[in-house]
Amino acid sequence: MDLLNTLVDKGLRRELPTREEALAVLATSDDDLLDVVAAAGKVRRHWFGRRVKLNYLVNLKSGLCPEDCSYCSQRLGSDTGILKYTWLKPDEASQAAAAGLAGGAKRVCLVASGRGPTDRDVDRVAGTIKAIKEQNEGVEVCACLGLLSDGQAERLREAGADAYNHNLNTSEGTYADITTTHTYADRVDTVNKAHAAGLSACSGLIAGMGESDEDLVDVVFSLRALDPDSVPVNFLIPVEGTPLAKEWNLTPQRCLRILAMVRFVCPDVEVRIAGGREVHLRTMQPLALNLANSIFLGDYLTTEGQAGKADLEMIADAGFEVEGTGEVTLPEHRATAAAGGCGSHESAGCGSHEDAGCGSVCGSHESSAANEPRTDLVAVRRRGAGTDLAPNA
């Protein structure tokens, strides 16, 4: 297929595809799916080999959020039955992180619900970062605390944070349909603050919220323009009690096409399969490792994930290997730029793009929208952080 040959060539050169090419990936048929995966897999292996980076989530503060994000079980007025607790103490968070690190994770992601941290919250997280790093040599720590105020990113970096996560989630044009208590511009501003402070920026999306192909391409092109080092791809977990609980729009094939499109648009960036892979990729998860080079180990913030042991077996059986703590995740050109402060990457990486317009291939991919709800695969987390039970790692 000429399209795939073109995209592989561009991916190996870090050249941005056109919007029409990105849309065409999403519009490919199931008959062509393995060809799409194989093509994107060439790009993935060129930049990341067969390594899989493991990340581990620690939910520092669960629920009780004043924001109204439609996809989130921790949202304002949520009636989802999730765990609700205030800030974990540094030693509690460190103990939770230790389970993931023992399971092979090299990055710990410290997440807290809420609009954004107060200065006192930043102090709390700084203490947690110190506790984790004192006990685990070489560990990476990523903070995810919501919208940042001036100076907070710098304080987090001084405290030892390596990265900051703040997802765009969806396209600018549809953002107000998902969240009304803050804006798309607010999110972009926080990613830019992380860049400016020298933190490795992590920003991604959520697929499956009823968006069109054009929306998906819009948000991924916007992410490339923001130049994050890692792009988490979440697949909506429709939790009962949230406004999007009835949105079951994804098939395993659709998820693979989305991951392939992200890989072609951001070829040399850490693409992480985040929430929802067990629910929507299901038995196709090993195939997705040919597209993404990073996953979360174990459970998520408020829902359960696949058993950590099963994750490790899946990686080995698929012919991949867990990335060690002594290995550098990013290709040399990006790792070198990141060492000098994020945001210094050249535009040939995940730089700015031209608005090529939609062209004739626009339109949502209707044939992939009929997916049977798998509510049996959605379980509220009842173990790990915030409980007396051992975590899943």
pTM above 0.85, yes or no: yes
- For residue 352, pLDDT over 80 is answered with no
65 is in an annotated binding site: yes
Does residue 353 form part of some domain? no
Does residue 386 form part of some domain? no
Q: What is the CATH number of the domain that holds 129?
A: 3.20.20.70
350 is in an annotated binding site: no
Number of domains in the chain: 1
144 is in an annotated binding site: no
pLDDT in tens, 135-167: 988 899 999 999 999 999 999 999 999 999 999
Q: Which residues are catalytic?
A: 65, 69, 72, 109, 142, 202, 272
69 is in an annotated binding site: yes
pLDDT in tens, 200-227: 999 999 999 999 999 999 999 999 999 9
pLDDT in tens, 22-47: 999 999 999 999 999 999 999 999 99
Does residue 211 form part of some domain? yes
Does residue 347 form part of some domain? no
Q: Which domain holds residue 233?
A: 2-342+359-377
Does residue 61 form part of some domain? yes
Does residue 382 form part of some domain? no
Does residue 6 form part of some domain? yes
202 is in an annotated binding site: yes
CA distance 143 to 233: 17
Does residue 385 form part of some domain? no
pLDDT in tens, 125-139: 999 999 999 998 889
